[in-house]
Chain A
């Protein structure tokens, strides 16, 4: 990497940025899920390891969340955008050099940000835990150069139209910057009280809804048609998806705060808008699944499609659950319980991670021009992820229902803790499976880069038969 930092733009091979982002994202995936599994162990067995006082749950929890969101998810997005945007514009990335610097400064910034969170230097606001100097660094050094690269690549495209994925990329990066800066206003200008609390969730909700959800979807809009060879089922439905994301997903932030004393109209409004998110959700899922027409065998044979479609299928329960849990009738029962943690992992570890993993698998093969080293290891990775996630989701959902029931019957809280104990252990086992699967993935990708079969120019990795 270092040798490219000061190289001339023309000397940097195309795809370098995407490769660096891709490899970094896998490493952060391992780190992030490792931390998650560690935290889960703490919640199951609080005295299991003792003496490591600096590895407190209260410090490590946000490090896990930010390592997976900023390290894994966001970097996998960056990797995908850095190769998908130029491919769809029939051009090359606007500046590989900017991209390489971006990737370096992204990793450095993330290490710094996590180290500060780890040592307890925090703003005390969930999902915008970073202190404001770090927020500014993230916005202007980590995200803005990435935006510039995506936007300029789209502007310099050599096709007439802009494909669906690229609308999403361009618009979502713009919205991310806005959401990041506006969402952190309370810190820059020291807003307080419920204004601050509401803005905290405005930020969190919109990062999930205007960055993570639509970009993950946009990636699948590329991967599925590209690998199956089917054209996207409907661009009209793609339009519907895009516009309803912008209009509906940007509004229900208050549904995260249904039990707080916010103005009642705001909670009702959020609750209605939250159900309307089902419009983009259904449009999207239908569009992708209909694109698969005639190619469903690839769901079994092709590992990228297997990952992508699993992610899309997981989006169905995810969104049904979301629309359901945020109505007033239901929310009071499951708010703040393990149910929400399960929902969060269904969203980020289920739906979005599966979509991104496919894009990173595919992108690295295309860019390195090497066929995946081992299909069996990839399948192993897939199944550890899916089984691990299912254990996680099921156990936390049950734990959440127990907590919900305890709210009604007003049992002493420690009885809830005792009742949840077995589910905490299952969650830990499931999460650990995910972590172990990721190590296999890194090994597989390393071997691919080293020993994978070369993909001849003009061919797709998926077209080649596996030799091993």
Chain B
């Protein structure tokens, strides 16, 4: 580097690049990290668990290691009726979301409440736990309650008492793996999407979610509130199996392979035969399309449908 100019140049380069990174990474980082989790962020964290992309627990994105969202209408301890409540069940060994393990994700107030009133400090991944999202009326602040500590609700009891189990956490993994976010966004735009796609998210709505997969290209409707527009499980089932069954102009791919080998009744699924029958129908040779099998409870398709319907 014999030239003195090059030494000066290297210094200037270093200063320019560091300043740029200070302004574009450090300052925004401070600003974004200062925002508290909203109740939506808390619900998302507890629904989707630790991480929906590649992780140690789930290297091949099969949907393993995710919490289960359940809907309760009776108390798991004594069976007496209670208001409809969403509980988030982390069975023993299910990794906790960032909000419970990292200090800065919840935000100061939410964290203090979750620790003092919600007793999240006593929750333990190895034993599992059940969480609720609660609102502190006095300060109008949402917080996480560790129902295993406050009410003695163990994962087993809550699962046994559940009216409905929603595998939306595993479903989000499918959403990431299958690349739904190359066509769909999860981000109604702030300027003009209110009418068609609903309320745009706010700054604190993403705390603790990873990855956010809100997408940059949109070739299809925004899905952030799709469950509120269309809550029909039957429609979703047909639509995922072959979108052209319900929307003849759709360019969405078929997701029939997510059904696995067996349907809900344990009958084998023959995609080839189905496809042949469907092609006859599409060519106008038969009046009705072949029947769509109901997905098994532990099939990827079921997870995905749960995820989509849970987007309210």
List A residues at the B interface (Cβ < 8 Å).
42-44, 46-47, 50-51, 53-54, 56-59, 61-62, 119-126, 131-132, 155, 160-162, 167, 171, 175, 178, 182, 186, 190-200, 202, 243, 246-247, 250-251, 253-254, 256, 259-263, 265-266, 269, 332, 335-338, 340-341, 403, 407-408, 410, 413-414, 417-418, 421, 424
- Determine the main DSSP class of A at the interface with B: helix
A369: shortest Cβ distance to chain B, in Å? 33
CB of B54 within 8 A of chain A? yes
A261-B200 contact, Cβ under 8 Å, with A59-B178, A192-B98, A266-B28: yes
Give the chain A neighbours of B29 by CB distance below 8 A: 195
How many interface residues does B have (CB within 8 Å)? 85
Tell me if A247 and B6 are in contact (CB < 8 A): no
Query: Within the assembled complex, what's the spacing in Å between the Cα atoms of A136 and B87?
Result: 38
User: For residues 1 through 59 of chain B, which have their beta carbon under 8 Å from a beta carbon of chain A?
Assistant: 1-3, 6, 9, 12-13, 16-17, 20-21, 23-25, 28-29, 31-33, 35, 41, 51-54, 59
Give the chain A neighbours of B210 by CB distance below 8 A: 186, 190-193, 196
Give the chain A neighbours of B180 by CB distance below 8 A: 58
B306: shortest Cβ distance to chain A, in Å? 18
Tell me if B179 and A61 are in contact (CB < 8 A): yes
Query: Within the assembled complex, what's the spacing in Å between the Cα atoms of A302 and B275?
Result: 53
User: What is the 8 Å Cβ interface bit string for chain B, positions 169-200, against chain A (1 contact, 0 not)?
Assistant: 00000001111111101010111110110001
Q: Kindly identify which residue among A123, A263, A335, A340 contacts B211, using a CB–CB cutoff of 8 Å.
A: A123
Q: Which of A253, A269, A407 has most B Cβ within 10 Å? A: A407
CB of B264 within 8 A of chain A? no
Query: Within the assembled complex, what's the spacing in Å between the Cα atoms of A123 and B215?
Result: 13
CB of B235 within 8 A of chain A? no
Tell me if A202 and B52 are in contact (CB < 8 A): no
Query: Within the assembled complex, what's the spacing in Å between the Cα atoms of A246 and B221?
Result: 38
Give the chain B neighbours of A175 by CB distance below 8 A: 17
Cβ-closest 5 pairs across A and B: A58-B179, A124-B211, A124-B53, A193-B206, A120-B177
Query: Within the assembled complex, what's the spacing in Å between the Cα atoms of A171 and B12?
Result: 12
A46-B244 contact, Cβ under 8 Å, with A121-B59, A131-B54, A193-B206: yes
A171-B13 contact, Cβ under 8 Å, with A198-B28, A410-B196: yes
CB of B162 within 8 A of chain A? no
List B residues at the A interface (Cβ < 8 Å).
1-3, 6, 9, 12-13, 16-17, 20-21, 23-25, 28-29, 31-33, 35, 41, 51-54, 59-61, 98, 102, 105, 176-183, 185, 187, 189-193, 195-196, 200-203, 205-221, 243-244, 247, 249-254, 256-257, 271-272, 275, 279, 282
Query: Within the assembled complex, what's the spacing in Å between the Cα atoms of A175 and B60?
Result: 32
Tell me if A261 and B185 are in contact (CB < 8 A): no
Tell me if B211 and A50 are in contact (CB < 8 A): no
Could you write out 29 A-B pairs with CB less than 8 Å apart? Answer: A51-B271, A54-B257, A56-B179, A58-B178, A62-B179, A120-B178, A120-B179, A121-B61, A121-B177, A122-B176, A132-B54, A171-B13, A192-B208, A193-B208, A194-B35, A196-B211, A197-B214, A199-B25, A202-B24, A202-B25, A246-B13, A246-B17, A250-B17, A251-B24, A269-B23, A337-B218, A338-B219, A413-B220, A417-B220
B252: shortest Cβ distance to chain A, in Å? 7
Tell me if A193 and B207 are in contact (CB < 8 A): yes
Q: Which chain B residue shows the least CB distance to A155?
A: B1
Q: Which chain B residue shows the least CB distance to A269?
A: B23
Other A-B pairs, 7, CB within 8 Å; known A57-B179, A121-B61, A192-B105: A120-B177, A123-B53, A123-B211, A260-B187, A266-B28, A336-B218, A410-B196
